[in-house]
Amino acid sequence: MPIVGLAGAGPHGSVLFADGDGNFGDIPPPTNWTPETKALEVRGDSMYGMINNGWLVTYDEVRAPSYELDGQPCVVWLDDGRVLVKIVELGRSAGLFDLISTNAPALRDVKLTAAAYVTNIIPERAARKFIRRNPDKPIVDVTLDGEVSS
């Protein structure tokens, strides 16, 4: 199963998902995987205590944002290209969401382009035992719709 990129867990989500990512290797699929399951490596400490820097998260079923996300840890795609791992809560207006961190200020009333439930959280030390890095594989960009370009 591919590690398709980085997700930000910093207060401002400065890490991007697509730009030059895709060369992170792969991991054996978890028991609850589907053909759509992918992994991200987390960068930042705003989710410290729940999802720490260097940990892996898996997700599948990327979908349009909805009220069903409320209270759930998710991978979220923002209009400006950021991809973050946050707890999603309903915002103050229709179509807007609050992105909650365990260790940083919340991002309030944010428009999301897509979201996916976190299906697994793998601590860095455990992940290091089975990550296979791909240093000879060309770096590619991965877009939200799953298309790959080099």
Rg over alpha carbons for the chain, rounded to the nearest Å, is 14
Distance CA 62, CA 71 (A): 17
Distance CA 102, CA 80 (A): 23
Domains of the chain with CATH codes: 3-149 (2.10.109.10)
Are 141 and 148 in contact by the 8 Å Cβ rule? The answer is yes
Per-residue pLDDT of the chain (150 residues; tens, 9 = 90+): 888 888 876 655 554 454 444 567 888 888 889 989 999 988 888 889 999 988 999 999 999 999 999 999 999 998 887 888 999 999 999 999 999 999 889 999 999 999 999 999 999 888 888 787 765 555 444 445 555 444
Stated pTM of the model: 0.79
Provide the sign of the torsion angle of the four alpha carbons 97, 102, 106, 112, taken in this order: negative
Q: What are the φ and ψ backbone dihedral angles of 127, each rounded to 5 degrees?
A: -65, -35
